[in-house]
Amino acid sequence: MAKYIYDYKNWTSFTWRETDINAIFGEARNLQGKIIGQMNSLGFATKEEANLYTLTLDIIKSSEIEGEKLDYDQVRSSIARRLGINIAGLVPANRNVEGIVEMMLDATQNYQKPLTNKRLFGWHSALFPAGHSGMHKIEVGRYRTGEMQIVSGAMGKEKVHYEAVPASKVKEEMDKFLKWFNEKNKIDPVLKSAIGHFWFIIIHPFDDGNGRIARAISDLMLARADGTTERYYSMSSQILVERKQYYDILQRVQHSNGDITDWLEWFLHCLKNALLTTESTLKKILRKTEFWKIHENTEFNERQRLVLNKLFDGFDGKLKSSKWATIAKCSTDTALRDIKELIDKGILQQEKQGGRSTNYELADFQK
């Protein structure tokens, strides 16, 4: 069996080849500065919308990496309520969603506060409010006392992908990690975000939720790098897109002798891709803000506002009257009336390619 990185003496004295990461590090840092500059030139409402959109996406995608699907509207409503953002169509969120939102907002809004055992235990308790992961009872709000293996495959044919740091060493390893994370050292916070993510995953200190907490730790340090509580790009969304490479690279570097160049290189490329995605997202948000500015005196009912916002945020499939009825929780007749009103106002139009059912889309609008 190949040795794990933590089997080496002084394993946390990580090394990397500067020449291999310099170019991609520079590109990611430049893009970061460019996007924050663009955001700072925008109005308050647009920035608020972008922040809400990104945080919602980050939370949903981080859970999706673990195979858990959260309700978009519940997550968005929970964040808006906690940040005091006024949005239409607020819905109540369940305990599970509230806990995940609480953890994420603590990481990004309180990024200057030190990371402590107590804070991590709070995050873990928020992730598992019922003390269970699925059907299994787990140790919540404290470090694991049992050994940890990452396994896949059917019973009797399991494949061990990783065996974490022994339980007896978790506290000692976490103390060392937190001391490094909180101290002011010469490592750029973007690199520190990447190293922190990897280091935490290697320790795997909790019974469950390690991936989501590692990504929250990354986001906390990226917020320090940006120097703002406002989030405009989502690492978790990009990690979900590159999930296979994410697990492959972790599996490869967990056997290294302390050289984490490959991990840093992958992380920086992932960050760059997240930032590039944000540029196109920003265009969507600007379009949405522009629309509501043009129509600030137009009369809409709550159902129309709700579905129009969904159209701007982008949702799966085509807009049909039946889908309108489902989203707005109304009858198909009411949905058709809502749609007809918007067509008369020049806001919606029928899609050109007909087919058996009628689809609707946003009409072009100009200032």
Domain with CATH 1.10.3290.10 in the chain: 5-287
Is there a contact between 285 and 45 (Cβ–Cβ < 8 Å)?
no
Domain range 5-287, CATH class: mainly alpha
Domain with CATH 1.10.10.10 in the chain: 303-362
**Backbone dihedral region for residue 80 (phi beyond 0: left; psi -120 to 50: alpha; all else: beta):** alpha
pLDDT in tens, 194-225: 999 999 999 999 999 999 999 999 999 999 99
Question: What does residue 138 show for φ and ψ, rounded to 5 degrees?
Answer: -130, 165
Mean pLDDT of 69-91: 92
- Nearest Cα neighbor of 256 from 5, 21, 48 is 5
Instruction: Specify the fold of 303-362.
Output: Arc Repressor Mutant, subunit A (1.10.10)
The proportion of the chain whose per-residue pLDDT surpasses 70, expressed as a percent, equals 98
- Nearest Cα neighbor of 148 from 117, 169, 119 is 169
Coil vs helix vs strand at 345: coil
Distance in angstroms (rounded) separating the CA atoms of residues 113 and 247: 30
Distances (CA, A) of 352 to 30, 127, 315, 338, 355: 42, 46, 19, 20, 9
49-53, 114-118, 138-142, 289-293: least confident range: 289-293
- pTM, two decimals, is 0.84
Distance in angstroms (rounded) separating the CA atoms of residues 346 and 349: 7
Distance in angstroms (rounded) separating the CA atoms of residues 62 and 240: 7
Number of Cβ within 10 Å of residue 182's Cβ equals: 12
Is there a contact between 278 and 58 (Cβ–Cβ < 8 Å)?
no
pLDDT in tens, 16-38: 999 999 999 999 999 999 998 88
Which helix (H) or strand (E) segment holds residue 250: the answer is helix 243-253
Taking all residues of the chain, what is their mean pLDDT, rounded to a whole number?
91
Is there a contact between 284 and 295 (Cβ–Cβ < 8 Å)?
no
Say if residue 279's pLDDT is above 90.
no
